[in-house]
Structure 1
Amino acid sequence: MWPYWLMYAFPAVVALSSNSRERSWPPWILLGVVFTICIGFRYQVGGDWGNYLPHYDKEIGRSFSDPITGDPGYVLLNRLMAQLDWKIYGVNLACGLIFTIGLIVFCRGLYRSWLGFALAVPYLVVVVAMGYTRQGVALGLIFLGLAYLEKGRFIPYMLFIAVAALFHKTAVIMAPLGIFLYRHGWLYRIIAVTLVAAGLWNALVAKEADHLWTTYVEQQMYSQGAVIRVAMNATAAFFLLKYWKLWRRVYPNALLWLWMAYGAIACVFMVGFATTAVDRLALYLTPLQLVVFSRLPFLAQKEYAPETMTTWILFGYGAVLFVWLNFATHAVYWLPYRNILFE
């Protein structure tokens, strides 16, 4: 399991020695290359590894004009890689690249960029990007969209959400967040979000809505660790609300993170009703953790020295990685880490 610890240790050590945004691109490019290779060239790593192989095999010999069954973005990517004969590793490499680019672009805009990236490793990189490929791509695109949304750019955000939904239809749930960008132009954004969300729903979700409801709600699918992951989002929401007065005074477009915090709190009350469904949807709220905890050393500096707060945050997320690798039921599918380059 040491590769996972190295992936966490590198950005964590840099975060401890850097107290601001890192604007220089070369370190980020190097980091992106390493993480893309780790994600893309993994070999028999991840809980859904066996489930994704048939997706690729089914596209062998098909042309782009053939009918598409499933998430269009992911199907077409598999079809392209099948034509190039890059096998599942080409698919995973492309997905890992999209996820990593989205995460890096998002983290570079945070108060402590390296701290934000380090906090993404234990769950978002190791578990999601290396295990749930389609949702990993969707999340990477959502990261890109949020980076634009924080700058007040509504249209690019909606475009990234639309593309994310092509890889995993549940990403459509993030469309309404664009409404809460700033106070003026509400009507325009409500109309735009409604039209985009309705279009994506009808095109991607409507045909499977009954099946999804039956699978995730009526059959009561259970996700181990869902309560913990929802609680981590809720903890971030708690700190945002605690320092809300300072937050809205210092950070632009604060309202969108406030509504994201409300969503995280709502998940606490819904997780017992449909564990797996809430767990999958709460995944898209995890950027809240990176934003809040990367800003917490500044927000709480009157109570704690920023270096002390940073250390405690990194220790906490290191503990999350330790517990998951050693005690999670499904961690066996990630251990040992194997890479096709070394097989």
Structure 2
Amino acid sequence: MFPYWVLFSIFAFGAITHVLRPRGEKQATILLYVAVFVLMLMVGLRYKVGADWKNYEEIYRYLQGATVPELLRMQDPAYMLLNHLAQTLNLDVWFVNLCCAALFSWGLLRFAEREPNPWLTIAVGVPYLIIVVGMGYTRQATAIAIVMASLREFEDHRYFRTFVLFVLAASFHKSAILIIPLIVASSLRHRFAIYSVGAALAALLFFVFLDQFVDTLFSNYLDAERSSQGAGIRIAMNLLPAVLFLTLQSRFAIGEQERQLWRNFSLATLATVAGLILISSSTAVDRLALYLIPLQLFVMGRLPYAFPARGRRSDVLVFIVLLYSALVQIIWLVLAQHAEYWLPYQTVIPNLFG
């Protein structure tokens, strides 16, 4: 588990340095890019890490010989096309993982670089979003990160880019359409047009990317069982930042549309708690909960800056948030039922040059 702690330490150290000894903007940006590049390599060049590793290898083998039109008719066509490209180049699953990791890292960076302490924002995401989701659920992790990038476009009122990114996200995992209503409902401008386009887009994406044959093909996934078992934990992790935001939202220095967006995320988190209790199958609820993980990064990353500067209060809160994140990582690596699939961390690099 040492490599995971190295990854966490990189961003934790960056978060502390950002507070105690702020660097020049250009230098800080370059260092952040280098750190995210290391993150991308670690996520993309992993080997036999994550409980679904064998399933992704099975997908790769199944798609051999498939034509591009056939791939486009399948579920998650962008992911299928990446597999096809890897086969065309005579490469392996690691190439698909690396491409997905590049998109994942880009979306994460696009989201974090707008925050007051980007290092802290990413450090909050290391224990679960990056290690568990990013290295375990390749397709959905890519979709989540692209959605995170689309949130920034939405906050800047660039709605066309927002919807384009949603199409890309849904092409990696169609469950991305679950988050569209939360985004659309947060709009404060041109509501009728955005509501109409959002509803049409959600319906279109659902039917375009729905393929019962491929759903049956992947019905052997352990993913559904694990989602149900871990749904309570994931929802609980979202619940803390949701309550914090709803309680302290006036302290967050953000615009009204952004405030409405995160308010909707927080209310959706409360709804997932009710859904987990009332719905017999927690898988659907858990799918939505995964897309609410950005709320953790936003709230916990901004929490130290949500209070007036008195002495070194913000510095202390940065340490507290980092300790909380480290505790999450300890609990996952030591106590989680399925952590064995992530341990030890291995890289494909020796196989490439062996």
Which residue matches 1:53?
57
CA contact 2:86–2:92 (8 Å) conserved in 1: yes
TM-score by length of structure 1 reads 0.91
Higher mean C-alpha displacement, 271-280 vs 232-241: 271-280
What is the aligned counterpart of 2:150 among 128, 141, 145? 145
What is the aligned counterpart of 1:37 among 26, 34, 41? 41
CA contact 1:99–1:140 (8 Å) conserved in 2: yes
CA contact 1:3–1:337 (8 Å) conserved in 2: yes
SS of equivalent to 2:229: coil
Which residue matches 2:31?
27
Say if 1:132 and 1:296 are closer, same or farther in 2 by CA, change over 3 A: same
Which residue matches 2:348?
340
Residues paired across the two proteins, number: 339
Residue identity opposite 2:303 in structure 1: L
CA contact 2:110–2:152 (8 Å) conserved in 1: yes
Say if 1:206 and 1:27 are closer, same or farther in 2 by CA, change over 3 A: same
Give the Cα separation in 1 of the matches to 2:62 and 2:325: 39
CA contact 1:110–1:116 (8 Å) conserved in 2: yes
Say if 1:277 and 1:182 are closer, same or farther in 2 by CA, change over 3 A: closer
Pairing of 1:89-238 with structure 2 (within 5 A): 89-205=94-210, 207=212, 223-238=228-243
TM-score by length of structure 2 reads 0.88
Give the Cα separation in 1 of the matches to 2:293 and 2:209: 23
Residue identity opposite 1:330 in structure 2: H
**Residues 240-298 of structure 1, C-alpha deviation per residue, up to 9 Å, x if partnerless?**
11112233766663111111111011111112323232222211011111111111111
Pairing of 1:258-337 with structure 2 (within 5 A): 258-272=263-277, 273=279, 274-301=281-308, 305-337=313-345
Quote how far apart the aligned CAs of 1:222 are: 5.8
Which residue matches 1:63?
67
CA contact 2:251–2:307 (8 Å) conserved in 1: no
Superposition RMSD on alpha carbons, in Å?
2.6
Unaligned runs of 5+ in 1: none
Unaligned runs of 5+ in 2: none
CA contact 2:227–2:286 (8 Å) conserved in 1: no
**Residues 94-130 of structure 1, C-alpha deviation per residue, up to 9 Å, x if partnerless?**
0111101110111001122110011111011101111
Which residue matches 2:78?
73
Which residue matches 1:7?
7
CA contact 2:186–2:264 (8 Å) conserved in 1: no
Higher mean C-alpha displacement, 122-131 vs 64-73: 64-73
Quote how far apart the aligned CAs of 1:302 are: 6.6
CA contact 1:61–1:83 (8 Å) conserved in 2: no
Give the Cα separation in 2 of the matches to 1:18 and 1:74: 36
Quote how far apart the aligned CAs of 1:59 are: 2.2
Give the Cα separation in 2 of the matches to 1:215 and 1:262: 33
Higher mean C-alpha displacement, 153-162 vs 321-330: 153-162
CA contact 1:22–1:114 (8 Å) conserved in 2: no
Give the Cα separation in 1 of the matches to 2:240 and 2:309: 20
